[in-house]
Amino acid sequence: MSKAVKQHNDGSGDHNVGTAEQEEIKLHWFPLEAKDWLTDSRLSLCSPTTRGIWIDAICVMWLNGQSGELTGTAAQLARMCRCSEPEMREALIELFETGTADILLPSKNEANRFCLLSKTQANGTEILQANLQANLKQILRNRRMYKAHGISQIRSEVGRKGGSKTQANGLAKMKQVHQANRQANGKQSSSKRSDSDSDSDSESGSGSGSGFGNGCESVSHGNQEDNGQSPVPGNGLGQVALDQDQDEEEIIEGIPS
């Protein structure tokens, strides 16, 4: 599905399709400003045939990504706008002379580049007729839709960059939180190991206790030595905390910076 634009539209040459307000929606239709279409002085100078070709051209531009432009020879544009080639040639000349639309012709100096044909140029009509007779391509442009399309492209690019920056900031913040948690767990495990060592020292120094604590610790050490593992001082909570820190460190390393 192509990107469509929610726009304020009319059918005149310079008051045509589009405004700056655009959304990512799919539309096969656009509203037509009846008053602008009927009262536009430039469009009113065109013949009924040219006005019919122009509204078809606007529809094709709308469905063609709302770019505001159609490119092709007179024959190609005629097929797009559902008219004969002679009618298309006459329509292009009328749209240019009345100022209803912009016409761009191929550049003589650079390939694949088109230049705007100025309406104030004295021989502009002759230049356009020569281009049509040579069966060269031209661009038929709707000014309003073309401008709205450019604004949409800029906003999309700005939004894409802003979204990437927000995502990067979120990942950096998540990494900081994990690092803070890891440091907090490290301090807690160190405190528990210190308390455990203090309890063991006090029990071994008394020598007259019931022997229940020492007996349990002796059995635990014996089981670890039988399994080929080194004994862990205290109750082993410090080792569990260290394992938890290692897991969090692996999670942090998996997050892209």
- In this prediction, residues 210-218 reach a mean pLDDT of 41
- At a CB cut-off of 8 Å and minimum separation 6, what does 67 contact? 61, 145, 146, 149
Element (H, E) at 13: none
- In a 13 Å sphere around the CA of 89, the CA atoms on its Cβ side amount to 15
Q: What pTM does this model have? A: 0.54
The side-by-side arrangement of strands in the sheet containing 138-141 is 69-72, 138-141, 102-106, 114-116
Q: Any idea where the domains of the chain sit in the sequence?
A: 34-151, 165-206+215-253
Q: What is the residue type of 46?
A: C
**Residue 103: enclosing H or E segment and its boundaries?**
strand 102-106
**Lowest-confidence segment of 68-77, 114-123, 134-143, 182-191 by average pLDDT:** 182-191
pLDDT in tens, 89-99: 999 999 999 99
The residue-averaged pLDDT of 190-216 equals 53
Q: In the prediction, which pLDDT does 159 show?
A: 74
Identify whether the C-beta of residue 196 lies closer than 8 Å to the C-beta of residue 235. Answer: yes
Specify the range with the lowest mean pLDDT, choosing from 34-38, 39-43, 58-62, 230-234: 230-234
Q: Which residues contact 36 (CB under 8 A, 6 or more apart)?
A: 10, 11, 12, 15
Q: Which two tokens stand for residue 35?
A: 């008053």
Q: Which amino acid, residue 255?
A: I
H-run or E-run covering 115: strand 114-116
